[in-house]
Amino acid sequence: MCYDAILAPLDGFAASVAAFIAAGGRGANVTVPFKEEAFKLAGRLSPRAQRAGAVNTLIFNDGILGDNTDGAGLVADLTRNLNRSLAGKRILLLGAGGAARGVIEPLLEQQPAALVIANRTVSRAQQLADLFGHGSLHAASMRQKPGRRSMSSSMPPPPASPASCRRCRRSSSQPIPWPTT
């Protein structure tokens, strides 16, 4: 068995997958920007992929099975490898694409105090927040004015600066900006 990266053209993902299958490929990992296209390509979907609306793993066996392991992997890394509980914590998720869709439900299952989806296009972040419909889930724009915070007053305070994190590799005295709408 061989595991190699294959660069698919932006307008040729499905053709690249078909060629890979024809060459004997048995499965593939999918990265941005193809996770939502992989979802559409899969003939069968795992429950995780169905909920996420995005696929990062394709298995070629009696057709194409799509799965999404983004959230399970992220939560395992944070809780097991870093030994961090997410319960009651404030989580900032940057982006509202396929990867974000894949991690929202597993993150919410950890019962954070708040999960904020920040995206350049706040309407896309809001669509995800509405889709998952959870009380601790909020949408925000990455475009903010310094010193302004237009989120609901019920939102928790901004997260701590990277300098306060013992595991951060770079130090900074600047706080992490909190997204505003």
Task: Identify any residues that bridge with 118 across adjacent strands, giving them in sequence order.
Answer: 94, 140
Query: Is 35 one of the annotated active-site residues of the chain?
Result: yes
Q: Do residues 71 and 107 lie in contact, with contact meaning Cβ atoms separated by under 8 Å?
A: yes
User: How many whole angstroms separate alpha carbon 6 and alpha carbon 17?
Assistant: 10
Identify which of 114, 35, 95 has the alpha carbon closest to the alpha carbon of residue 70. 35
Buried b (16+ CB within 10 A) or exposed e, 110-123: bebebbbbbbeebe
DSSP 10: T
Pick the catalytic residue from 35, 40, 89, 145: 35
Catalytic residues: 35
